[in-house]
Amino acid sequence: MPSPLLVRFAALSRSAGVLLLVLALPGCGGGSSGGNTPPSTPTPTPAPAATLTASVADVAVNAAVTLTWSSQNATSCVATGAWSGTLASSGSQSVIAAKAGTYSISCSGAGGTATAAAALTVWEAPTVSVSADSTNVLTNATAAVTWTSQNAKTCTPTGALTGTLATSGTQVSAALTSTAVFGVACTNPVFATPATGSVTVTVSPTYSLLVSAKYEALGAAVISPSTGYLVPNWANPVITAIPYVWIELQRADGTVAASSYADANGEVLFSGLSAAIKYTPVIRSKSRNANNFDLWVVNNTRPLNTAASTVRTRYEPYADRYTDYVADLKKVSQTLTLIAGLGWDKTTSKLIDANRVSGPYNVIALVNSLEAVAKIAAGGAAAAKSPDFTVLWSISNAGGSTSATDDFDAGLTPNTAWFNSYYKAIDTAGKTTGAWVADNIMFLSGSQAAALSELSTSSVLHETFHYVQASRTRSYQPGGSHSAQSEQDPALAWEEGFADAVPSLVTGRSRPARIYPYSGTLIDNNYDISGPISGSPVGWFQEMSIARLLWSLQDPAGSAKLSTQAILAPLFGTAWQQGVWMPNVWAYGKLLKAQQPAVAAAIDALGTTLNITLVGNDEWATAEQKIGSLTTAQTLPVFARVAPGSTTSVCSVGAKNDYNKLGNRRYLRVDGDGRTHTVTVTGPAGSVPLLTTTDPATAEQSDFYVAGARAFTRSVVLPSSGTWAAIGDCSVTRSSFAENVTSCSQAAAAPAEQCWSITVSP
């Protein structure tokens, strides 16, 4: 049998670049066989491998870390990831750990590429922040505590926090009955000292409540698209603070838990309140400012005590209750805003009487705004306290009475808005039938069928200024009906004209609101004080002329540009208060120019424009020559001069109960020497002359007349300082109500013209 073919492969070796192949062939045997030798299979090239390790897995920021690497079957390595550069196939390197990251290597060889990585966590010092949804809570409140951390791996609770904590989260506490500290401590593998944070939640048994009282006021009027009338902008009221108003918190049984007058911003801070009690907030329509000016707005149609005879004992302020207040347990200091609404229903576009809450507070705000201006004009902090003031108002007040007796309970008086410093005591039926009471009161209508006087800025401030005139300045108010366009008594024109101007002076609006019903709707029908004056002629004898003069003094576009306080200031000065002349526009002009010399020429010019002679004039209107539509005999001089040892003749005109028109009552300038003189007054047949004298020291007035007689004689002391007086027919000047002139005992109506002879003994 032939020997098999023996093939032996010698080991491959590399020597001097020669590949040696050794082939051994066996000897031939007895036979032979043929065949092919199978091909050889190459040995595979091994793939590279790589490793990378860091000396530590966690390291402090900017600390050194040693990275060690090795590779197999690789000829080169490259650093990637958080480091870079060419590396040997094995080795180690120190790096600065500026930030956390992954350090990688990529090693390449004939068999491919291998990578390895080492993650390195770089730690800064841990920080912790802890907060609570409220740090001041009431007893039995819970606290939601929130914490966050940075550079922390584990956090544990401290203080009132409990349980296992994540590195960030929120935990709600149990009900708190005492102050508690909620804390967190956090660490990481590098910084062993934990970072801590905490929040203290203070638990209080009581809380404070800041109550703000506001009301809805009317803004500027708008034109009605359906009627073309100027109407109140009911749907867009202006929310305004109620200054100095009384605010109280009541318990469930109606007892008062806390109460106080608000500040100028309508705010009161109540402290020591219990969260266990629901308080009922109440606003009462009375106020008292820092100067103790005391103002009440009372509901005269709902008497508190029908046996009482004065307005403050018979009636009480409104008490407007609001929704019970439930304390927020999360707050020790809380706030509440109360808003008294106008009562306008946007759905029906009607003013709902039952919802008209804001009326009394509109009055309080307006009266206090004038009081504040008057205080500054009177000397600021040094000004004396104003007398108490009471306003009678209700939604039923209509005015419109034809009787001299007021029916307060029914809301019936001669006018829709008026002021008086006295009234007759009220009987059990609500009518003024008793003895005179000295008290400052203002009546305002509120009936939608009469006038919304409480929302009429012009009405409220006009009548309030009469209160200021009567109580804080020297004034003389003949009284009676009047009109902005009619020719009037010079005293009445002055007093009413100034009152007409005050609403514009205080509000800075030349056309303040005046709300009246007309053709089935409520309109704003006030005149614009800056516009043309209707009626002719224009002059000192017209109410509107005085008002226009005063507005022109303030008008920002005018020549004088005086402040409201500067315009009012002469009325509070000694010269005005002690003047021996009747209050009038000429005396005012002289005093104002003395106080404002820089605009004296402008003041004179404004007077000239309005037919009021202020240039070179004195307190007695000596230089005045305007006569209006009457004769010189019936008009000039404005003050006819009366002196001892002389006879003076003056004429007046008018019909019964028409006493306030120009010329009905003539004014006298009385010279004196401090001695007693006999004064004889004689009038025409059918007349009853009435002489009114004034004591310059006290401003007290006295009436002299003899019922039914056309002449009388009296002994009178004529003060050496001089004074003023007035003469007129008794039935014309005594009252605008027929029932009050019966004491004159005139057999018939007074003559159309009466000329009076006044003789004073030497």
What's the pLDDT band for 537 if we cut at 50, 70, 90? Answer: confident
Q: What is the pLDDT of residue 13?
A: 36
Return d(Cα 294, Cα 244) in angstroms, integer: 10
Whether residues 608 and 698 share a domain: the answer is: no
Q: Quick check: is 682 in a domain? A: yes
Give CA–CA dist 118/65, Å, rounded. 11
Among 91, 123, 155, which residue terminates a domain?
123
Residue 349: inside a domain? no
- 571 and 602 in one domain? yes
Domains identified in the chain, total number? 4
Q: What average pLDDT does this structure show over 505-530?
A: 93
Beta-strand pair 195-204/136-138: parallel
pLDDT at position 488: 83
Query: Residue 41 domain-assigned?
Result: no
Query: Taking residues 76-90, what's their average pLDDT?
Result: 94
E-state strands within 368-506: 389-393, 417-426, 432-444
Clarify whether residues 621 and 645 are in a common domain: no
Give residue 307's pLDDT: 97
Has residue 364 been placed in a domain? Answer: no
**CA-based end-to-end distance of the chain:** 194
Confidence of residue 737 (pLDDT cuts 50, 70, 90): low
For the chain, the average pLDDT equals: 91
Span 457-482, pLDDT tens digits: 999 999 999 999 999 998 888 876 77
Predicted pLDDT of residue 609 = 94
The confidence score (pLDDT) of residue 527 equals 84
Beta strand 515-518 pairing with 417-426: unpaired
**Quick one: 611 and 675 in the same domain?**
no
The residue with tokens 């740090």 is 135
- Mean pLDDT for 112-133 is 95
Which comes out higher in pLDDT, residue 388 or 20? 388
- From CA 540, how far away is CA 720, in angstroms rounded? 29
- What integer pLDDT is reported at residue 478 of this predicted model? 80
In this structure, are 494 and 625 located in the same domain?
yes
pLDDT of residue 686: 87
Q: Do 94 and 80 share a structural domain?
A: yes
Q: What is the pTM of this model?
A: 0.83
The residue from 123, 158, 178 where one domain ends is 123
The tokens for 546 are 């005085």
- Domain CATH code at residue 165: 2.60.40
Confidence (pLDDT) at 739: 58
Question: What is the percentage of the chain residues whose pLDDT exceeds 90?
Answer: 80
Q: Of 100, 299, 132, 287, whose CA–CA distance to 202 is shortest? A: 132
Query: For the residues 362-368, what does the mean pLDDT come to?
Result: 98
Q: What is the mean pLDDT of residues 116-143?
A: 95
Q: Is the pLDDT of residue 267 over 80?
A: yes
How much of the chain, in percent, has pLDDT values that exceed 70? 93
The pLDDT value given to residue 12: 35
Q: Are residues 625 and 546 in the same domain?
A: yes
CATH number for the domain that contains residue 675: 2.60.120.380
HEC sequence for 334-372: EEEEEEECCCEECCCCEECHHHCCCHHHHHHHHHHHHHH
230 within domain boundaries: no
pLDDT digits (tens, 9 = 90+) for 653-689: 866 656 567 778 899 999 999 999 999 999 998 899 9
CA–CA distances in Å: residue 746 to residues 426, 469, 686, 710: 31, 34, 7, 9
In a domain, 213, yes or no: no
749 burial via Cβ count (<10 Å: 0-12, 13-18, 19+): middle
Please check whether residue 232 lies inside any domain of the structure.
no
Average pLDDT over residues 97-120: 92
Whether residues 707 and 621 fall in one domain = no
Q: Examine the fold and report which residue of 629, 655, 690 is the final residue of a domain before the chain moves on.
A: 629
Residues 97 and 116 in one domain: yes
pLDDT at position 2 is 41
Q: What is the structure's pLDDT at 188?
A: 95
In this structure, the answer to whether residues 515 and 612 fall within a common structural domain is yes
Give the model's pLDDT for residue 673. Answer: 96
619 and 578 within one domain: yes
Choose between 380 and 445: higher pLDDT: 445
Q: How much is the pLDDT for 660?
A: 67
Residue 736 has pLDDT above 90, yes or no: no
Q: Is 476 helix (H, G, I), strand (E, B) or coil?
A: coil
Q: Give the residue carrying structure tokens 């020549």.
A: 559
CATH number for the domain harbouring residue 116: 2.60.40.10
Structural domain containing residue 675: 632-760
Query: Residue 36 in 3-state DSSP?
Result: coil
Phi, psi values for residue 386, rounded to 5°:
-75, 145
In a domain, 377, yes or no: no
640 and 618 inside one domain? no
Give me 597's structure tokens: 């010399």
Per-residue pLDDT, 30: 45
Q: Across residues 261-289, what is the average pLDDT?
A: 98
Residue 758 near residue 654 (C-beta atoms within 8 A): no
Query: Which band of pLDDT confidence, cut at 50, 70 and 90, is reported for residue 32?
Result: very low
